[in-house]
Structure formats: structure tokens, C-alpha cells
Amino acid sequence: MIDSDDLSYKVAVWKVTTYKGTRGTTYRVRWKVGTEEFKEPFKKRAQADAFRSQLVQAQSRGEAFSLSKGLPVSMLREERPEMSWYDFAVAYVDHKWPDISAKHRGNIAFALMMATTALFTTERGMPDPALLRAALRRWAYSKTYRAAERPPEVEDALRWASRHTRAVGELADPKVADAAVRAAIRDLEGRKLVVGSQRRNHGILKAALAYAVSEGLLERNPIGELEATTSRSVHQVDRRCVVNPEQARNLLDKVREYGYEETERRQGMKSGPRLVAFFGSMYYAALRPEEAVNLRKHNLSLPAPRIDATGSPVYDWGEIYVEEVTPDARPEFTDDGTSRDTRRGPKQREAGEVRPVPCPPELARLFWEHLEGFGTDPEGRLFTGVRGGPLATITYRRAWAWAREEVLSEAEARSPLARRPYDLRHTCVSTWLNAGVSETLVAQWAGHSVAVLKKIYAKCLVGEEDRAKRQIEEALRRS
């Protein structure tokens, strides 16, 4: 309880003064409450400016000050000790960790690491900048790696960082907060990131400081809105990356021949044959790589092939139920230290909800051939490495790069055409749209909202421009 007799509204705050003594320079904030004069020394000018700003703001709000302590009522209620930015960032990572994906954990670590580089109090004794950034991102801001044994150089770098970052309270100064934001939305060369990355990192830092406010470390969030930009943030698919049916068939056929290591070739353990249905699921059913890599046998509803009059198998339409995904992730941001995140539900779906996708006869044939040739692992997983275990991202990327070089012409190989396995998904969605399937149904199958679908695939709707030109010509003829 604050004694009303100890309060006064008669306050004067003077400018910060600089004092240069034998032990260094200090910055003093001087102010008066009633007839009592107070002063507070700081080692850093920014600290003094931030403290003075708090006093002035309280005075402007008409807030009462304590005659005995010299502080406004709002500051008297704050009994919490100062926390360094480093300690706060670590605490924030741990606060967010249980409820977010490994990819988002990595994004938070990167944004906090970049912001931290602008919040050091000195450069004296600073470790190598590259080592310091890696130590912060991979070890300090990773709950998984922080609990593990750290190399001595990493331990030294983090010890230095923990002792030489500003207090969280200093971000109340707009200049300090702005420096952190500027660092977070730029790359290591000081260039602004692409618009989407700017917005993501700005939002991460803003959310972190909102948490600081909720913990009583800041009175208000000093980060405002990101500077307006006219650049689009939704990535549109480049029509040039979409393959035609003949190219797709040739690429899938060539994948069969891929063998990553010479020892695999000698032992008859080529990776390629195991990957045909994997890539086929992207081309024929628009699965994302992280969805395809986690397909289980129970996710497939495939009618048994019929035998025609010639004795050849005939395959019918089936259904794929996209249930759980294992996104590729950096091991420091997964719970178990592996390169894939804990299995999660597909995008645009609630937990436990599945996304049904039609399986055309061509893909049904690839699935049946895969099951007959390779079966599944003990967990029912379709796609695995040649020696067992989950299919590694590096394996299918290398196989695709090899097949692309073998099939495409030199000019095509230099172009964006099917540069990534993900472009097979883009090809499938574009095929559905250009075949006249309704946008609502395509969005359901692809796991998008209709609005996002229209933005992403705007350039892939073949014939739209020709129709528009004909309409313009007809309008001109009528005028």
C-alpha cells in the first residue's frame, strides 16, 4: 500500500548529464519531486535515456511520484530485478518450445539470434562473430541442444554473450528497440530479407517483447508495425517450373535407374526404384514431400487390380488419406534430435483430421508395384532408405537432381523446369485447375484455402491470358 502523504505531482526532470571520472564515464539522470532532488547514475547513455524517458512519460500522464523514493507509482510497483536480453531470449524459447513446430522453433532462433547481435554492450573480448551466431542459434536458443554437452568454444562464446547483452528494460528506448528490429529483418550482409521473411522475423520479435510485457519486464511493447511495403509476400508459382506429361513420365522412369553409391549398385541396393512411387505421389496427387515421406499402408485405399481379357492388370481410382506429416527440420529444433519433426497433422486441418486426395489409376499402379517390390517397414511406412529407417531428404533430392540432369536438355536443366521435387506438386495442382476442376475441390485436395490457391497458382492457369485478349478484341470491335 502506497501512503498518499508520500505522493506529489510536483515533478521536474532535467536533461541527462555526463560525468567523466577516473574510473570511467557515467551518465546521470536528475529530477525533483516536491522539494527533494534525486539522481541516478548509469554506465550507458542508452540506459540513462531510457530511465529518463520513463520518468517523463509518467509525468506527462499526470502520475503521482513518491516523495521518499522519487519514483512514479507505476515504477514503485515493479519489484522485479533486471533481466538480461540473453536470459530473456532463452526463457522465451523455453516458453514457446512445447507448442510449436520444429520449423517455427528454428525461425524463432534465427530472429532472436539476429536481434541479439544488435544488443551487445561491448565488442571487447567478443568471440568470432560466426562462432557466436552459431552458438546462439544452435545451442542457446535450442532447448534440445542446450541440454547436451557443448564444445568448449561454444561454451566460451555463450558465457561471453550471457554477460554482455543489454537488459530487457533498455528496449523501452525506441532507439534500442529499433536497432533490434533492423537487425532481425536483415541478413548477415545487412541487406533486407524478402518481404515474407521480414514480416515473420518482425512478428517473432514483437511477440517476444509482448511476452516481456506480460512478465513485467517492460511497461509496454516498443515495437510497432513493420514499415509498409508494396511488395507481395505470397509466393506465386512460376509457370516455367511445371513439367508436361511426357517430361514427367521420362523423369519418373529415369529415377528407377538411380543408385547413389557404388556399393549400392554392386549389392543391388539402388535407391531409385524405391523412389518412383514417392515422386509419383507428388505428381499425381499433389502431396508435399513431408506428407509423402510419412505415408503408411493404412493411408491408402486401393481397389485390387482387375485382370483384362489379355491377362494384363487394370487399375482403378483409389484414395489417399493424408494423416500425419514429418517435415524436414534441423535436428537442434526437434524434440529427439533427428532431422524430422514430430509427426503433425496436415496443413489446413485440425489435429486428428485427415485430408482425402484422389489416387488416379497411374499412381495406384505405382503404389501396387512398390508394395509388391519393397513392402513396408515395421511401422507400415511405404518409403524408407535402402538400409531401413525413414527416407532421408538428401537421398530423394540427389536422386531427383540426377534424373533431371539425365533427362532434360542442357537449356532445360538450366531453367526452373522441375528444379525441385516440390515442383511436381505444383504441376499436379496446375493440371487439376486447367482440367476444369472447381477451385474449391482443388483447394481441398491440395490442402489450401481457396484464396491462397488463387494467389499461388495465378500464373499457372493456361489460357486465361488468351481468353482475356479475345475479350478485349471483341470489345474494341464493338466500340
More confident residue, 106 or 456: 106
Distances (CA, A) of 215 to 94, 156, 207: 14, 29, 13
State pLDDT tens for residues 374-397: 999 998 999 998 888 888 889 999
Distance CA 174, CA 422 (A): 42
Look up residue 26 and give its DSSP letter: E
Q: Identify the pLDDT of residue 50.
A: 92
Distance CA 320, CA 300 (A): 5
Q: Identify the pLDDT of residue 204.
A: 97
Quick one: pLDDT band at residue 14, thresholds 50, 70, 90? very high
Q: What single-letter amino acid sits at 178?
A: D
More confident residue, 349 or 362: 362
State pLDDT tens for residues 121-135: 999 999 999 999 999
Q: Identify the pLDDT of residue 347.
A: 55
**Cβ-contact 49, 173 below 8 angstroms:** yes
Q: Is the pLDDT of residue 346 over 80?
A: no
- 31 Rama class: left (phi>0) / alpha (psi -120 to 50) / beta: beta
State pLDDT tens for residues 184-234: 999 888 899 988 899 999 999 999 999 999 988 888 899 987 765 544 445
Q: Is the pLDDT of residue 79 over 50?
A: no
Distances (CA, A) of 332 to 135, 164, 336: 12, 24, 9
Please give the angle made by the CA atoms of 231, 194 and 112, to the nearest 5 degrees: 130
Look up residue 331 and give its DSSP letter: G
How large is the greatest C-alpha to C-alpha distance in the chain, in angstroms?
107
More confident residue, 16 or 19: 16
Q: Is the pLDDT of residue 351 over 80?
A: no
Quick one: pLDDT band at residue 268, thresholds 50, 70, 90? low
pTM: 0.66
Please give the angle made by the CA atoms of 342, 453 and 238, to the nearest 5 degrees: 95
Q: Across residues 100-122, what is the average pLDDT?
A: 94
Quick one: pLDDT band at residue 468, thresholds 50, 70, 90? low
Quick one: pLDDT band at residue 295, thresholds 50, 70, 90? very high
* pLDDT, the chain, mean: 86
Q: Across residues 323-333, what is the average pLDDT?
A: 78
Q: Across residues 451-473, what is the average pLDDT?
A: 66
Torsion of CA 228, 230, 235, 240, to 10 degrees: -160
Q: Identify the pLDDT of residue 230.
A: 45
Residues facing 128 on adjacent strands: none
Which three cell numbers, joined as nine digits, stand for 451? 484464396
Q: What does the buried/exposed string (b/e) look like for 72-109 if buried means 16 or more CB atoms within 10 Å of the residue's CB?
A: beebbeeeeeebbbbebbbbbbeebbeeebbbbbbbbb
> Among 394-408, 443-457, 460-474, whose mean pLDDT is lowest?
460-474
SS3 of residue 25 by DSSP: strand
Q: Identify the pLDDT of residue 262.
A: 47
Quick one: pLDDT band at residue 334, thresholds 50, 70, 90? confident
Domain 249-404+443-448 CATH assignment equals 1.10.443: yes
**Cβ-contact 273, 260 below 8 angstroms:** no
- Listed ranges 71-75, 232-236, 344-348; the one with the highest mean pLDDT: 71-75
Domain with CATH 1.10.443 in the chain: 249-404+443-448
Closest CA to 291 of 328, 318, 324, 339: 324
Q: Is the pLDDT of residue 467 over 60?
A: no
Closest CA to 182 of 208, 205, 162: 205
Q: Is the pLDDT of residue 368 over 90?
A: yes
Q: What does the buried/exposed string (b/e) look like for 132-163 if buried means 16 or more CB atoms within 10 Å of the residue's CB?
A: bbebbbbbbbbbbbbeeebeeebebbbebbee
Quick one: pLDDT band at residue 479, thresholds 50, 70, 90? low
State pLDDT tens for residues 384-438: 988 888 888 899 999 999 999 999 999 999 999 999 999 999 999 988 988 888 9
**Cβ-contact 142, 333 below 8 angstroms:** yes
Q: Across residues 71-81, what is the average pLDDT?
A: 70
